[in-house]
Amino acid sequence: MKKMLEELYQLQGKTAVVTGAGRGIGLAVADLLAAAGARIVVADILANEAEAAAAEIRRNGGEALAVTVDIAEETAVKQLYAQAAQHFSSVDVLVHCAAIFPKYPLLQITVEQWDRVQAVNLRGTMLVMREAIAQMRKGGRGGAIVNISSVSGEREVVFHNAAYGASKAGMTNLTRAAALEFGSDNIRVNAVLPGGTATPGAAEASAKMRAAGYELKGPMVHPGRIPLGAMGTPQDIAAACLFLASPAARYITGQCLAVDGGFLIS
């Protein structure tokens, strides 16, 4: 029974591309998937952070390749997968964590600001999924994709977050569309919807908002709105990603799992 339990969560012999893996949720995902036996492509726009994350995985006995990529750029995403295939020969898992989340009041947001959020969060999702699916179909072994969407794609949780929320709603829809279209290729596509999660990026976004004179307010920060009583950690999100990427979830696709301490039911 113990061996069967271990096999349910093993990724030995699999190659996992993890975007946004230089820090925060992506870093926690990369570390956990490496511990489960996967070879990791550490993809991030932050070159130094990506190299450091890959080096740490290798020091811990795993295999990792760092690739610097802006996921909003089609050529860069294609190059990411070309490097992954060249280095590890296959792509079996994608956990897509990369995103930006600047906060802008809706009446003040510029077209350029809006377009950049959609370019990274929504077009970037399409690009990394499209190329991953192409690699998985070529390999003929199926695969698993886990997108890090957000509870913000389900409902507005803090003020000044319309651009981000719209991008994440689109990401959740893309998840379901791909799950339906590529299930016959044994490619599973699911999403994890974090609630409030303590990451360096979230702290930076909040600090920039306060520096711009905007108050941090909205349902997420109301007392009692999180039934479990605390913000999540990157490791909480990574655990859900491992489950959805692993053989334990072999009959699950098109699902969007909220990891939010109960916020969406409050």
1-30 confidence digits (pLDDT tens): 677 788 899 999 999 999 999 999 999 999
| Residue 197 clears pLDDT 80, i.e. is over it | yes
pLDDT one-digit tens code per residue, 22-58: 999 999 999 999 999 999 999 999 999 999 999 999 9
CA triple 204-96-36, angle to 5 deg = 105
Sequential DSSP letters for 113-135: HHHHHHIIIIIHHHHHHHHHHHH
- What is the pLDDT confidence band of residue 187, given thresholds at 50, 70 and 90? very high
Between CA 145 and CA 249 the distance in angstroms is 11
Residue type, 108: Q
Task: Name the residue range of residue 239's domain.
Answer: 2-259
93 phi, psi to nearest 5 deg: -140, 140
Residues 6+ apart with CB under 8 A from 22: 42, 44, 45, 46, 48, 49, 50, 52, 53
**251 flagged as catalytic:** no
Q: Do 29 and 241 meet the contact criterion of CB atoms below 8 Å apart? A: yes
**How confident is the model at residue 172, as a pLDDT?**
97
pLDDT one-digit tens code per residue, 210-245: 777 777 777 877 788 899 999 999 999 999 999 999
Q: How many domains, in total, are found in the chain?
A: 1
With respect to residue 80, please indicate whether it lies within any of the assigned structural domains: yes
Q: Do 113 and 104 meet the contact criterion of CB atoms below 8 Å apart? A: yes
With respect to residue 266, please indicate whether it lies within any of the assigned structural domains: no
With respect to residue 206, please indicate whether it lies within any of the assigned structural domains: yes
With respect to residue 84, please indicate whether it lies within any of the assigned structural domains: yes
Residue type, 87: H
Between CA 69 and CA 49 the distance in angstroms is 12
Which residue of the set 81, 164, 214, 251 is catalytic?
164
With respect to residue 265, please indicate whether it lies within any of the assigned structural domains: no
Task: Write the CATH number for 129.
Answer: 3.40.50.720
With respect to residue 32, please indicate whether it lies within any of the assigned structural domains: yes
With respect to residue 156, please indicate whether it lies within any of the assigned structural domains: yes
Burial 94-108 (b: 16+ CB within 10 A, else e): bbbbbbbbbbbeeee
What's this model's pTM, rounded to 2 decimal places? 0.95
Between CA 232 and CA 255 the distance in angstroms is 20
With respect to residue 264, please indicate whether it lies within any of the assigned structural domains: no
| Residue 83 clears pLDDT 90, i.e. is over it | yes
Secondary structure (3-state) at 72: coil
Between CA 10 and CA 15 the distance in angstroms is 12
Structure-token match 């946004």, residue found: 20
